[in-house]
Structure 1
Amino acid sequence: MNGLKTASIFNSLDDQTFAELLSLAETKLFDQDELIIEKGKINDFFVILLEGRFDVTDQIGDQKYVVASLFEPGEFVGGQSLLGRPASMNVEARGQTNCLLFPLNQIRKYSDIYNLLVRNSAVDTARKLESTNQTLLLQLKKASNASSTILLCLSGFSIAMIFLSFMASINYPTDGLWSWLFILFVIPPPLIFVAATRQPLAAFGVTSEHFVKSLLDGVIGSISIVVLSFLAIYSFPNAFGISAVDVFEAMHLSRLQTYFYLLHCYLQEFFVRGSIQTSLEEVIQFQWRKPLAIVLASAIFSVLHYPLGFTPIVATFASGLLFGFVYSRTRNLIGVTLIHYVAGKIFFGLYNALS
């Protein structure tokens, strides 16, 4: 309780006045999601946080937004109440929240104290507005960059579709050269934009942060895919018409160029997960943005596999959901690249064996 003396609303109060003010306050415990201050209502109190968290919320249509979260003891809400004005936003408790309620009908009897509280409230509000303004500007910049990144990714996507259509028209086989030419079309637009706007590559998954966790996800995911895939082939030989040995040999693991596919996977993941999925998460502004970003990024990339046929498109989309989830855990491309590589080798090994 002694630490409350440093709260901004009590700035310049001497110890005696502060003690008198505290004697007027009532301690109250709010439960999870309980409304403390209701938007549009004139309240005759202001509230000081002792323990827990305030969420300042507003609503546009059916969508509720958290404007600010306050969790430091001494934070106060109810500045509009001091001015006798309706609350401009809702304030809700997040978890059990312990507060002090100060009744304004009694505080107004002490005009000097009341005027000082109004002044302190105005100063605190100005500070919070400045901080909020900086936050909103940063969010706007991130959303603008994300939108531009998506646009450039889709530009690369369009160029790649023209390339794929041309290659299909001349019956060019979907070999290694085909796939590297495809990468050549889709990677440069977002990469050039990221460099031109001086955005850190770390924001797009090219980072050492969470490296160990990402690598561990990759190893566990890769082992799981290998075990489940070969177990399915071994258990249902009639369904596949081939053996696990046939698939393993068709993976061509003894060839050096096989391991260049690992770099290929990393570049693909930079395009899909690093650029598109990350940017979609910044642009989409509602509760299910992460799952939706994963689904949309997977759908966009799966369409680019149309020259391989319907089954590879479905397989790319389904695996993309897994890859997107793995990437979202760490925002590091290492783990998802490893899983992509292993899953891709098994899929194309199965595809080549069946062909």
Structure 2
Amino acid sequence: MRTASIPVEEKVQETEDLETIFHRMTEFMPQRVADAVRAASRRVPVAAHQDVIVEGETSDGLYIVLEGTFGIYRKGDGTASDHRVAEIGPGQPFGEMALLDGEPRSATVRAETAGAVLEIEPERILELADGEARLAEFKGALASFVTRRMRASTQEHVAALQRELDLRNEQQQFGKFFVYSLIMMSIGTLVNNVLARTIVNVDVYTEVFAWQYLAILMVPSLFVIRHMGISISALGLTTVGLKKSLIEGAIISVGLCIFAWGLAAVLKYFDALPGKPLPFNLLGTLSYFLHSALQEIIARGFLQSSFQRFLGDQGKWRSVLLASVLFGMFHLHFGIPAVLMTIGTGFIFGWIYIRHQNIAGVILIHYMMGVAAFNTGLI
């Protein structure tokens, strides 16, 4: 350590913090070694911007930060300038490697603020009775201490690398989802534009069109779900919360169906039904059940869950809104009332999905609402 500008030596201060530091450093040492370390220690005040050890110099003192903040600096390749590579504070040791292997200092440690260090000088241990034996024991115990610290540091480094890998993976996942969202919006816009301009003469109320349109939307959806590595259970297809989801879905379905029939009756009275009532057809309704299931797997299981994940949406309602609006736009060819109805019911579907993280009840409500809407002419 550079001593030219360091104040005169002071006695080790018996403070609680200092005792904690001594205990942590010597708890695995025999008492005789701990006593030797205490005898060879001194508290040294350090001025701001003062170098405690310098890269390349030969010295073997061990230091522990008592007060202040210290920076670790390394010289750049082929340059004389120092680069700050780390920061240490109270309770952290430095200089131990030179004590263990006798090599020159590998870095410069500089005080960033005024502070103090605990200096442990091997020469002082040698001056004690059986000094050589105690110093050898101290080095052995110190090597064990350094090994534990390096193991902890390695684990922290591995954890940091894992977090970085997770972040990169999350960024890649978001990129795929963003591109997917653009594709889906483009498909919806293209289909609705073609239908609005009557470029293709299609009856949008037929089962054939419903399946064709869904198939067009399902292809990119399934592709992205597969490449994002999303599991079946993450899409809400799980037994967890299944019973509660179905019970709640059944109760809400009855209420919404009664509302739909009442609304349709009012609109019919004023000759304002947006669609034409379709007769009940068992095969058709079974087909629509599968159709509803696939829609909800995409809308809630994939879209809503992905929005929640990538937006960090703790309240989850922003994700419900985005998924409902996006899915509502895919119904534009049925007219504005259908879009608004889809967005409105999307909030109910999203709420049920949030409560149970199970898609079953949501599918049931969607299916029952769709059957009621088609049979009454609301769609």
**TM (normalized to structure 2)?**
0.56
Query: Does residue 169 in structure 1 map to residue 201 in structure 2?
Result: no
* Distance change >3 Å, CA 181–CA 43, structure 1 → 2: farther
Match of 1:82, SS?
coil
2-structure distance, mates of 1:123, 1:161: 57
- Mark the runs of 5 or more structure 1 residues left unpaired by the alignment: 1-8, 21-41, 46-78, 86-104
Q: After superposition, where does 1:1-355 map in structure 2 within 5 Å?
A: 13-14=27-28, 80-83=89-92, 120=148, 123-170=151-198, 171-175=201-205, 176-196=207-227, 198-229=229-260, 232-233=262-263, 241=269, 250=277, 252-285=279-312, 287-288=314-315, 290-351=316-377
Per-residue CA deviations over 1:268-322 (Å, capped at 9, x if unaligned) read 112222222222222213654x221111111111112212221111111111111
2-structure distance, mates of 1:83, 1:11: 10
* Distance change >3 Å, CA 110–CA 329, structure 1 → 2: farther
Give the RMSD, CA atoms, in angstroms: 4.2
1-structure distance, mates of 2:353, 2:285: 24
Q: Which letter maps to 1:278?
A: S
* Distance change >3 Å, CA 239–CA 310, structure 1 → 2: closer
Greater Cα radius of gyration, structure 1 or 2: 2
Per-residue CA deviations over 1:110-131 (Å, capped at 9, x if unaligned) read 9989998787556434423422
2-structure distance, mates of 1:114, 1:286: 48
Which of structures 1 and 2 has the larger relative contact order (alpha carbons within 8 angstroms, sep 6+)?
Answer: 1
What's the offset of the Cα at 1:344? Answer: 1.9
Q: When the two structures are aligned, how many residues end up with a matched partner?
A: 262
Structure number with the higher helix fraction is: 1
Match of 1:206, SS?
coil
1-structure distance, mates of 2:179, 2:301: 14
Match of 1:187, SS?
helix
Percentage identity across paired residues of the two chains: 21
2-structure distance, mates of 1:330, 1:189: 27
2-structure distance, mates of 1:43, 1:162: 69
What's the offset of the Cα at 1:207? Answer: 3.3
- Cα contact 2:308–2:314 (8 A) shared by 1: no
2-structure distance, mates of 1:110, 1:227: 84
**TM (normalized to structure 1)?**
0.59
- Cα contact 1:214–1:334 (8 A) shared by 2: yes
What's the offset of the Cα at 1:337? Answer: 0.9
* Distance change >3 Å, CA 239–CA 155, structure 1 → 2: closer
What's the offset of the Cα at 1:260? Answer: 1.0
1-structure distance, mates of 2:235, 2:151: 39
1-structure distance, mates of 2:237, 2:216: 20
2-structure distance, mates of 1:152, 1:83: 49
Q: Which letter maps to 2:338?
A: P
* Distance change >3 Å, CA 81–CA 255, structure 1 → 2: same
* Distance change >3 Å, CA 197–CA 276, structure 1 → 2: closer
What's the offset of the Cα at 1:159? Answer: 2.4
2-structure distance, mates of 1:83, 1:15: 18
